[in-house]
Amino acid sequence: MTGIVEEQVTIPDGRDGLAGLLAYPSEGRPRGGLVVAGPHPFLGGQLENNVVQALARSGAESGWLTLRFAYHSPGGDLAGQMDRFWATGHAPLDGELLHDLRAAVTCAGAIEPVTCLASYSFGCWLVSRLAAEDGFNGAAVLVTPTVGHHDFSTMRQWNGPKLVVGSENDFATPAELLAGEVATWRQPVTLRMFERAEHFFRGREGELASVVTRWLADLPLRVRCSGEDGG
């Protein structure tokens, strides 16, 4: 029986490093690298976040090397950051968090070519930006992307396979808004909507993991192995 190995790592980010957790099958070569971008650090974006854990588990149990990470601490004027975030839902550090995701992708990529980015909530916005700006040649899982709060127009051009998971009762991503937005995205896109679920998937983590696992298993081999054959 293949188990999952978990390993704490420090991700070089040009500062003090980011806390990360690698998970991978105990045997055999991983199918590829998968990095998980969590929600905003002010809204539960920690390694222990239930959805982040579910995504990481799905990846590792499907045979991927997965890396989840904690965004860097705001430091400096924390009260100022929080004040702005309270008022607007955005904080001055938001743009910098893309740097954290890039660092995690680089870190995981040094072990196994990263061929999938999984994300939740605010993390989806970071993934959409990285995919477009860095020309990411892989697949993306976006769980309740914050389409009401952030600009996802880059997904209209980005051509990688996308799994979008929405929830029916979502304060941050109303189901109709999400469906309308996703309809404008470039194919291939798979949209799965969870009935009677809310943004946080509390108690539905198993189902979420199951949906993601199935989608990952069905990914075309060329995507899973793009690191090996040069994409």
- Binding site residues, other proteins, CB under 8 A: 1-5, 26, 42-44, 46, 48-50, 57, 61, 78-80, 82-87, 89, 171-172, 195-196, 198-200, 202-207, 210, 213-214
Tell me the two tokens of residue 55.
């995504």
- In angstroms, give the least distance from the CB of 115 to other proteins: 22
- In angstroms, give the least distance from the CB of 166 to other proteins: 16
Q: CA 58, CA 63: separation in Å to the nearest integer?
A: 9
Q: Which residue lies nearer to other proteins by CB, 40 or 227? A: 40
- In angstroms, give the least distance from the CB of 50 to other proteins: 5
CB-count burial class (<10 Å; 0-12, 13-18, 19+) for 48:
exposed
Alpha helix locations (H) across 111-196? 122-133, 175-182
Q: Which residue lies nearer to other proteins by CB, 91 or 114? A: 91
Residue 213 near residue 34, CB atoms below 8 Å? no
Q: Which residue lies nearer to other proteins by CB, 72 or 199? A: 199
Q: Which residue lies nearer to other proteins by CB, 34 or 54? A: 54
Q: Which residue lies nearer to other proteins by CB, 68 or 227? A: 68
**DSSP bridge partners of 7:** 22
Residue type, 118: A
Q: CA 88, CA 175: separation in Å to the nearest integer?
A: 22
Q: CA 219, CA 231: separation in Å to the nearest integer?
A: 14
- In angstroms, give the least distance from the CB of 105 to other proteins: 25
